[in-house]
Chain A
Amino acid sequence: MDKLTHVPIIEFSVMGYNVSLNPVIFLMTYLVIAVLVIGAIAVTRRLKAVPGTLQNFGEILYEFIEDVTVGTLGEKDGKSFVPLIFTIFIFVLAANWIGILPHITQFLGMIIGVIHHAFTGNGGEWVIDGIMNTQFRPNPHTFYYGLFAFPEFQEPTRSINTDLALGLIVFAVVHINAVRKNGFLDYFRGYMGDIIPSHGFWILLFPINPFFYLNVISEVSSVVSHSFRLFGNIFGGFMILVIVSSLVKYMLIPVGLLAFFGLFAGVVQAFVFTMLAITYIGQKN
């Protein structure tokens, strides 16, 4: 249960500012990026007119996102946003899915260790303490000890920092695109509401316009709701998993929960996040 409150943190200072980061989330984020880069290279390495299995899979995924984007933003704008939207989608999807097998490296390390121990006799030792607590402890000098020391896989989206970063990227894209498209004056006029006229010199009255402040707050709160939606769902799934697992002593039921919260809710939330990003862009376009 101490998993819930324990967060590993490294602190250091850069140019007088104290910076703290979670090394596990950091590692997992780069792992997700590595998986995506390798996957993208593997899919596009040998493109053929008649696609093979891998290329076919990539094309289905890409065309699905392309359809949704073009359907919402229109043919011309939609096409230019597809790369960004698709990147967001596969990043969030991979990030949500990386935690499905949280202890896979320890599991592999234990299998190798037990076989190694059975043949050579110096791979480690068995600690026997009843049925539930019997475990194999590997020797720190063996070649597979790194697998044991590897941290438990966890979703980068479980940390609010990743979600807020994604939300802020979308926020920046939405507003930069809106300014580029409509010009700053028209963009700014959008915050004025209808009570006080917003044409000509009237726009200089914005500091006393209550609607200006409300609209600014509602724009900022859209970032909060966008990123906390993802965070709450992924973190909630993790928390339910940890608590139910410790209640049933890690027997069987967590597998079903992982399938629901990891696989199913992971896809749904990745899609929801992407759809909202598209709609935010389309709304200000």
Chain B
Amino acid sequence: MDVMMCTVLGAGLAIGLGAIGSAIGEGYIAMNAMGALGRQPGASQKILRLMIIGQAITETAAIFALVMALVLLFGGNGEGTMKAVTYIAAGIAIGFGTIGSGFGAGLPGGSALKGIGRNPQNSDALTVQMIIGQAVTQTSTIFALTVSMILFTLSPELSYLKMAALIGAAFAMGFGAIGPGIGDGIVAKNANEAVGKSPQNMGLLTRTMIIGQAITETTDIYSLVVALILIFVV
């Protein structure tokens, strides 16, 4: 198998799949910004600022996918069949792994903008809450990036079992990250809506949100553990 062929395939998988989630998430944020502008045209500065910050953070998932794609394209110059398999696996892991949290990070951004549309006075509380929610939502993508980078640097010995294990690890981490990403986003979305309604409860809401997100992420940690076992133990 030609290694170059596999780096190209891996790069295509990485950015092609990785762009899906973030694009939808950013669109959701912009949609709610339009709604907020319709309600509060006077607060357009605050709305624009929050929209840009929210979209920039949502883009992180796609940027990770782009980085892995570029690393595969320009840095993937190893040799041998196993190296080729690790490149494809790296592409699969980051590609599927970014779908969930790209979309998920858009949800709190959207509801933060909805909150500003309701009452522009709350914009500071909403910005802080949105950033925390989005940052925690991205955990699953970061695990996918970690696994993808480990796969990229790996050079195992030739065996069919190891080959299957590497592809399996990529699927475990990639698919495993979709659910927690969206789930975390749903938690953060509703926390943000609640902050928009009653900003005085923000401390309580942030704490509960983080605990809820941490438990949602448990399944992501299962995936990470299984992926690492597949990579290093099998």
Which A residues form the contact surface with B (CB < 8 A)?
A: 1, 4-5, 68, 71-72, 74, 214, 217-218, 221, 224-225, 228-229, 232-233, 235-237, 239-240, 243, 264-265, 268, 271-272, 275-276, 279, 282-283
Q: How far is the CA of A214 from the CA of B128 in the complex (A)?
A: 29
The distance from the CB of B29 to the nearest CB of chain A, in whole angstroms, is: 14
Q: Which residues of B contact A74 (CB under 8 A)?
A: 203
**Is B224 a contact partner of A221 (Cβ separation < 8 A)?**
yes
Contacting pair A279 B206 (CB below 8 A): yes
List the interface of chain B (C-beta within 8 A of A).
Answer: 53, 56-57, 60, 63-64, 66-67, 70-71, 74-75, 128, 131-132, 135-136, 138-139, 142-143, 145-146, 202-203, 206-207, 210-211, 214, 217-218, 221, 224-225
- The reply to whether B74 and A224 contact each other, CB–CB distance below 8 Å, is no
**Contact in complex: A232, B60 (CB < 8 Å):** yes
List of B residues within 8 angstroms of A228 by Cβ = 142, 145-146
Cβ of B142 and Cβ of A239 under 8 Å apart? Answer: no
Chain A: minimal CB distance from B229 (Å): 12
A268 CA / B135 CA spacing, docked (Å): 11
Q: Are A243 and B224 in contact (CB under 8 A)?
A: no
Q: Once bound together, how far apart are the Cα atoms of A264 and B55, in whole Å?
A: 12
**Which residue of chain A is the closest to B225 with respect to CB atoms?**
A217
Q: Within 8 Å CB of B142, what residues of A? A: 224-225, 228-229, 232
Among candidates A68, A224, A282, residue contacting B128 with C-beta atoms closer than 8 Å? A68
By the criterion CB–CB under 8 Å, are A268 and B53 in contact?
yes
Q: Report the minimum CB–CB distance from A24 to chain B (whole Å).
A: 19
Partner of A283, one of B64, B146, B210: B210
Min CB–CB distance B176 → chain A (angstroms): 13
Q: A72 to B217, alpha carbons, bound, how many Å?
A: 22
Q: Which residues on A sit within 8 Å (CB–CB) of B211?
A: 283
Q: Do residues A236 and B74 form an inter-chain contact, with CB atoms below 8 A?
A: no
30 inter-chain pairs at a CB distance below 8 angstroms, sorted by A residue, are A1-B74, A4-B74, A4-B75, A5-B75, A68-B128, A217-B221, A221-B224, A224-B146, A225-B142, A228-B142, A229-B60, A229-B138, A229-B139, A232-B64, A232-B67, A232-B142, A236-B64, A237-B63, A239-B70, A240-B63, A240-B66, A240-B70, A265-B56, A268-B131, A275-B135, A276-B135, A279-B210, A282-B206, A282-B207, A283-B207
